[in-house]
Structure 1
Amino acid sequence: MHSSAPNLRRSVPLGAALLLTAALASPLAAQQVVQGAPGETIRTAGGMVVSEHPEASRAGAEVLAAGGNAVDAAIATGFALAVTHPSAGNIGGGGFMVIRFPDGATTALDFREKAPARAHPEMFVGADGEYSSEIHHRSHLAVGVPGTVAGFDKAHRLYGSMNWERLVYPSVVLAEDGFVLSERLAGSIARFVERTPYEATIQAYSRDGVPYAAGDTLRQWDLAGSMRRIMLNRSAGFYEGETARLIAEEMRRGGGIIDEGDLLAYRARERAPIQGEYRGYQVISMPPPSSGGVAMVEMLEILEGYDIEALGHNTSRSVHLMAEAMRRAYRDRAVYLADPDYVDVPVHRLTSEEHAATRRATIDRTRASVSTPADVEMGYESLETTHYSVVDADGLAVSVTYTLEAGYGSGIVVPGAGFLLNNEMGDFNGRPGLTNESGLIGTEPNLARPGQRMLSSMTPTILAQGDRLVAVIGSPGGRTIINTVLQLVLNIVDHRMGFPEAVEAGRIHHQWLPDRIRAEEGALSGSTVQALENMGHTLSVGGSQGLAHSILVDPLTGDRVGTPDARNPDAGAAGHR
């Protein structure tokens, strides 16, 4: 346990779930919940949950209203998303949780997936002796040992306050009774089913191959069984017994290498968060094996040397400096960052003022730098992840980002278990020395090794100022995650935006290679694009970036302002009075 974290351990009895189920749904808690329409920003004086799906946010808010704390609500929300947000919500993947306690103490939970015991750096090479993207990203060998259930179990044992069964039960009900599909989600699932080759996946997400339509109810009975085993037996209900057997059988059937021993050996880790200071604000984020906290704090340290507020929001001068800071931090990310249990990561140096000063000194305020493949190449990282934010009435704040990697992960539903497996092994470098013009990377620190956790860009973050909680933020978006969260911090601190303005403001991205600025449609004016091109930047304009479902604490009233990112009109906020 992190040394500065208070002792909130609880002894949680097991085996009473069948007696508890009648009392688990609290009418009083349901009456106290305040829920906005999809996409609506809401304000409450009590606790708040903002997530990708209204049903998941409501599950967390009802836990808060029933007396649970923010960690309890985060667990309930995460399990509910495993039912209602199949493209990224999961029990077959992994992720990260950052916690700030009301007294200002902090900690972080690492439940990133791990490589199985038989993993090795050359495992993504085909029969022809060449690297295979298909094996790396779209096969049973792409599946890492899942971490989500172990992570939630550890978070609850350390810091939860409510019975475990109460937190998992809403997901059991959602899976058994079903939930109504929106047009957006029905279309996404239909496109997924159309391209999957796996029969168990087709059966889980269609009616014998006939796609669901908007307004249909999706029921997932096999998933309900898996959730019920987790409810009754905590993490042992996933890493041992029936569920573990079903996972291992599917691995053997598909040529994967995860077995019962890999599942039994998995452990989540508690780690000290990355902490930086930016213009008097504390930035609390995830440490390695996430690259998010390190890279973001490095960029903030660089940018602190400039008057970003005076330069203006998304002007050519401010975007130029942001892009140059991003360029340098992403290069450092590729060279140095990996699982700290396997690699000596120079975290303190990379996040230091001295390092930022040396990087800042290489920036020309009037001219773009040049990135070349000779320096380092950036590997593929999927945009499909999900983030959610939780604050309770006492000010306990939890920021969670978790994922299956690609949308719907590997696409493999475990037969009889009803959940999708991740393809997170794709976040390891493809092969030693593999660096080419297409963006592959083969640097040593992030190669696949037995038990190693793959590098991630997930950046669950909490912003504070002195004793005051300011915001809980984060985003999905693959490698764009770090820059999305960076811009939320800049919007709040430098540009003095409230919510939803700070969440909805247009975003940009630069990741060293490819050497270009990507800007959301409408984020930059035509004159700004022209000015940046005149400075030597290459720009790509279009699309959207991130889904930053966030909570701001009003500095005047203390109200929680919950803002689902409007880039997903289905997302929802829920709080309690």
Structure 2
Amino acid sequence: MRTLLTLLVLALPVFAQSPRPPVESKNGMVVCVCPLAADVGAKVLADGGNAVDAAVAVAFAEAVTWPEAGNIGGGGFMLVRPNDGKDATFFDYRETAPAAATKTLFADGTTDWRSHKSAGVPGTVRGLELAHKRFGSKPWKDLVAPAVMLAKDGFAIDGPLAKRLNDILADGKTTNAEFRRIFGKADGSKWQAGDTLRQTNLGTTLAGIAEHGPAWFYTGPPAEQLDAEMKDGGGLITKADLAGYAAKERKPLTGTYRGYDIVAAPPPSSGGTAILEALNVLEQFDVKAHPRHSVETIHLIAEVQRRVFRDRAEFLGDTDFLTVPPHLTTKEYAKKVAATIDPNKATPSESLAGTIPIAETGGNTTHFSVIDKTGFAVSNTYTLENNFGSRIAVRGAGFILNNEMTDFNPIPGTTTRTGKIGTEPNQIVPGKRMLSSMTPTIVTKGGQPYLVTGSPGGRTIINTVLCVLVNTLDYDMSPTAAVDVARQHHQWFPDQLAVEKFPGSDDVIAKLKAMGHKVVDAKQGDAHSIRIDPTGTFSGAADKRINGKASGVK
């Protein structure tokens, strides 16, 4: 999931240990990118709803108030840890490849990521339905109602959304007339903070989902509208694809790290496997022997990230179509990986390729964390892929199409030094779910929830979550500091280490370069998180890299 946040080279802020206090509550907490949606979820909790009820309401609200990533036309994952002693579970509502999709859809470079062909079959509505059927306590209609109101009545946009809308409507970024009609101002002027955005067609679609249930979206008028949009635009999704879509409940991956239990996302998310492998390797080292932003620590984490992403490329994909080797998340394998790390020298990525031939040659997502007063926790990440997805709106239905088909490996057999992966596990097959980096994660200690986290940011998602975990579990940072301080990212190819600036970073970066690292500036996604202390106080930390809110229940 590429994102404007992912490799955005700007005048980057300097990240220091954060003095910000977290938002605290003992009655429930919602942390997400949109303050309006955070408050919607907190109200559901205050009215007696549980964490899944709140998550459903937040997800629908963000489909209105955070249109660059919140969605009903995309997909994602929801990790749920009940409070009644039952095992955690995982709802997979990742998009699927339409029946007409072929392995070489993107191979010749003629299929644009902003085209109708780039859209996968949307899964969000079915995924939220499945989670609600399993755990919901409030009526479905009541949970969708706030989103209906926000769409039909409109809401006052804030400065960040105004900037994003103005940017996406700039010449050349989208030519789709319906998208421009919905998100452009009638008089052609630029959006300003405080302006009201109304989405009437989306409100009608959401009202139908509320009144008639999720099946209406997949077999009723929205399906007819999407089918017509595909036919007019040369897309691949049909009414049969929509009617046949099913969300799945899967068993989460689990592991341990320094006395903590980690509950993580299984495939087709690569995030859980990658996080567990990375933590297992880091456990072989005394991470705290050096300061968090020392040369030694940044080098060690980068070398772990490099190896994890190499394994991701070779082995991970939709487990309905392949078997992922179980050794990747074992402590024994981690010891072997750790032994290959030179503490004084960067490992050239190409030297790790092994059997993967190397050829000569950001998306948008959003995450939210929820916990109710009983300790029932939800970590949810969902996406449209690029910011505002394909930048195509379905005429009459008001929602944006994803461009998730681009998350498949585009050219079978071709893996490049620039970061394109062509390995078989994530090649296009009809009905297959594309590999994802989304990493919703829950940490427990002594059987009680300790941390709920996740992030957007394309391939940086995994490493954003890894940094938050290291900051929290190794360095015992406060919730806001763990989210705020500078992060790093290495994804095997391109062979470069992205580091956010921090006090003293120039000297550290010079030493990393001397060790063989190619260091670049970059900014990573917003890791909206909740930490739970032994007294049962929930501390919400909204990431300062973007607007957001931790909304605690009074």
Q: What range describes the TM-score normalised by the shorter chain of this pair?
A: over 0.9
Does the 8 Å contact 2:404/2:434 carry over to 1?
yes
1:311-370 deviation per Cα after TM superposition (whole angstroms, max 9, x unaligned): 221211111110111111000000000000001111x21000111111111111111111
| Greater relative contact order, per chain length (Cα 8 Å cut-off, separation 6+) | 2
Does the 8 Å contact 2:69/2:366 carry over to 1?
yes
Deviates more, 1:207-216 or 1:114-123: 207-216
Matches within 5 A, 1:219-368: 219-346=198-325, 348-368=326-346
Q: Is 2:548 aligned against 1:567?
A: no
Does the 8 Å contact 1:92/1:421 carry over to 2?
yes
Match for 1:143: what amino acid? Answer: A
Q: Which residue in 2 is equivalent to 1:143?
A: 119
Deviation at 1:516, TM superposition (A): 1.4
Q: Which residue in 1 is equivalent to 2:89?
A: 107
Deviation at 1:499, TM superposition (A): 1.4
Does the 8 Å contact 2:363/2:384 carry over to 1?
no
Deviation at 1:524, TM superposition (A): 5.8
1:119-138 deviation per Cα after TM superposition (whole angstroms, max 9, x unaligned): 1101224xxxxx21x51522
d(CA) in 2 for partners of 1:110, 1:241: 23
Deviation at 1:184, TM superposition (A): 1.4
Does the 8 Å contact 1:384/1:407 carry over to 2?
yes
Q: Which residue in 2 is equivalent to 1:522?
A: 502
Match for 1:243: what amino acid? Answer: P
**3-state DSSP of counterpart to 2:425:** helix
Deviation at 1:533, TM superposition (A): 1.7
d(CA) in 1 for partners of 2:398, 2:22: 33
Match for 2:548: what amino acid? Answer: A
Show structure 1 runs of 5+ residues with no match: 1-38, 126-130
Q: Which residue in 2 is equivalent to 1:29?
A: none
d(CA) in 2 for partners of 1:80, 1:319: 38
Q: Which residue in 2 is equivalent to 1:487?
A: 467
**3-state DSSP of counterpart to 1:478:** coil
Matches within 5 A, 1:6-21: none
d(CA) in 2 for partners of 1:472, 1:149: 23
**3-state DSSP of counterpart to 1:404:** strand
Q: Which residue in 1 is equivalent to 2:64?
A: 83
Q: Which residue in 2 is equivalent to 1:63?
A: 44
Does the 8 Å contact 1:98/1:398 carry over to 2?
yes
Deviates more, 1:365-374 or 1:473-482: 365-374
Q: Which residue in 2 is equivalent to 1:404?
A: 384
Deviates more, 1:518-527 or 1:244-253: 518-527
1:454-502 deviation per Cα after TM superposition (whole angstroms, max 9, x unaligned): 0000000001112221110000010000011011111111101111111
d(CA) in 1 for partners of 2:441, 2:166: 33
Q: Which residue in 2 is equivalent to 1:33?
A: none
d(CA) in 2 for partners of 1:469, 1:524: 35
Does the 8 Å contact 2:97/2:433 carry over to 1?
yes
How many residue pairs are counted as aligned between the two chains? Answer: 527
1:69-92 deviation per Cα after TM superposition (whole angstroms, max 9, x unaligned): 000000000000000000000000
d(CA) in 2 for partners of 1:377, 1:317: 31
**3-state DSSP of counterpart to 2:385:** coil
Deviation at 1:377, TM superposition (A): 8.3
Deviation at 1:45, TM superposition (A): 1.1
d(CA) in 2 for partners of 1:398, 1:409: 24
d(CA) in 2 for partners of 1:565, 1:448: 35
Q: Which among 438, 444, 447 is matched to residue 427 of structure 2?
A: 447
Does the 8 Å contact 1:106/1:273 carry over to 2?
yes
Matches within 5 A, 1:333-482: 333-346=312-325, 348-372=326-350, 376=356, 382-482=362-462
d(CA) in 2 for partners of 1:104, 1:490: 27
Identity of counterpart residues, as a percentage?
Answer: 47
Q: Which residue in 1 is equivalent to 2:553?
A: 576
d(CA) in 1 for partners of 2:34, 2:413: 41
Match for 2:248: what amino acid? Answer: R
Deviation at 1:378, TM superposition (A): 10
Does the 8 Å contact 1:82/1:89 carry over to 2?
yes
1:386-421 deviation per Cα after TM superposition (whole angstroms, max 9, x unaligned): 000000000000000000000000000001011101
Q: Which residue in 1 is equivalent to 2:148?
A: 172
Does the 8 Å contact 2:416/2:493 carry over to 1?
no
Q: Which residue in 2 is equivalent to 1:191?
A: 167
d(CA) in 1 for partners of 2:504, 2:307: 22
Q: Which residue in 1 is equivalent to 2:54?
A: 73
Q: Which residue in 2 is equivalent to 1:9?
A: none
Match for 2:138: what amino acid? Answer: M
d(CA) in 2 for partners of 1:471, 1:443: 34
Deviation at 1:383, TM superposition (A): 4.2
Does the 8 Å contact 2:417/2:493 carry over to 1?
no
Does the 8 Å contact 1:471/1:553 carry over to 2?
yes
Match for 1:135: what amino acid? Answer: T
Match for 1:81: what amino acid? Answer: E
Residues 138 and 383 of structure 1: is their aligned pair in 2 closer, same or farther, counting only changes over 3 Å? closer
Q: Which residue in 2 is equivalent to 1:14?
A: none
Match for 1:436: what amino acid? Answer: T
Deviation at 1:518, TM superposition (A): 0.4
Deviates more, 1:407-416 or 1:428-437: 428-437
Q: Which residue in 2 is equivalent to 1:211?
A: 190
Match for 1:121: what amino acid? Answer: K
Residues 410 and 439 of structure 1: is their aligned pair in 2 closer, same or farther, counting only changes over 3 Å? same
d(CA) in 1 for partners of 2:442, 2:111: 37
d(CA) in 2 for partners of 1:294, 1:186: 37
Match for 1:137: what amino acid? Answer: W
d(CA) in 1 for partners of 2:162, 2:49: 32
Match for 2:421: what amino acid? Answer: I
Residues 511 and 436 of structure 1: is their aligned pair in 2 closer, same or farther, counting only changes over 3 Å? closer
**3-state DSSP of counterpart to 1:135:** coil
Query: Pairwise CA RMSD of aligned residues?
Result: 1.6
Q: Which among 510, 513, 533 is matched to residue 513 of structure 2?
A: 533
Show structure 2 runs of 5+ residues with no match: 1-19
d(CA) in 2 for partners of 1:49, 1:270: 23
Does the 8 Å contact 2:363/2:389 carry over to 1?
no
